[in-house]
Structure 1
């Protein structure tokens, strides 16, 4: 019995040796690339197509690969670019890259939105064979970069594992530059005209109900101006399927215009029936109703 037990243990040990050897071989065969990017220039940013032109240095460092024999096994996943090698050494590869890249831009907070300009690099071999790592020490953004109308917020680097429907996983390096619009410039160009137009329209509440023609003319003309301003601002964006911050503000403005025009029509009927005092009461009541409209719609839109 003792001999049989010893024999079983020995047999199990022999069976486990190939598995351990295979695991050790897999670990030994796994390569690592240290990737870095130094951004030089930002060209045209096309909001309609969510594309942007970038010019940057890219480098790859690896102890396992000889880049004088073959290029780094990586590719750009969110754009097309021309690559001009600058330095090619056995374990170091550096190139200048110019290309057009794409990313799903978020316009929920337009005209005060932040957008993320990314460069996504993925290994050609699976994650078990090739791992990408970020180089935080040398990567960055040139201090001379200036993007008209935009302010630089931050630069980040991330390493992700991207999986595909066939079950394969690949290591991905993501370089992200976050930019935002200048608040004062966006406010003056986009929101201030709408605020002024809406305020002018609301002045009709302080006019006599008997002056129906001037009041209705004021309300209708300012409504058309508000719609034109809204369309002009919205045309700067692609056809998104959600409400932006500007859209929500315009919904409040349109509600005020509706309240204004509806009040005028009711007052006109009372004036036509020689009930001017009643018309004055309706005018005062609808004027006091304006802040309630703003508050109710504002909190309703917060839920959306």
Structure 2
């Protein structure tokens, strides 16, 4: 088992990279508040000539999520470009217009569908495919609440488009189910699932195009560092793209990678990564400079 190198801070390796592809939820905020040290680290990277591209599995278009970052106090100078799973998923949905689409998710995610010309279905019976952003009531519902409804979709061989591959995110001090947990259930029932967000290629294609625009030249992939706390999204995505990765080992994992001295235990971090057959070059508990 190869251990990640425990970093004292991002500054220890910042000079080795031109681009950071940085996760959002779990790295720079928890849905209730932003983390000043993490934001300051990204700002400093930008100030020293680097370029931070935020890469999020939010199911909404990035233009709609910027206001949320502002409300949480994420400084605009901590990032230079922003791409979301919603941005990447809109292309998949447009291919399938006019549907009709059976949409599952909270009302706040409706900007995902604006301008795509999709008709609405009321359920599996009259749908051409299913589009999932997450549970309708993510404060209270679990994937099991959707088992019977999703089984009806499987019975009709409907494809499920999942706009948020995250299984869970941290909201305050709680873990909340996301679209990926519903997609997992659908697959376990025998259904077909398509996703464009992390760890899948389309979102990285978008992010690297943004990075090239910022650089004004082609991206040297050896000088790109991915940062994230999701093993099966951020770390696996970086591995599939052959990009270096900094694993933020606290986030959704709580104290699982913390040693008895209160600091990162590289062996425990490696255990979290090995469980999903992934590897990260670096690890920290929280993002700091």
TM-score w.r.t. the length of structure 1 is 0.20
Structure with the bigger percentage of strand: 1
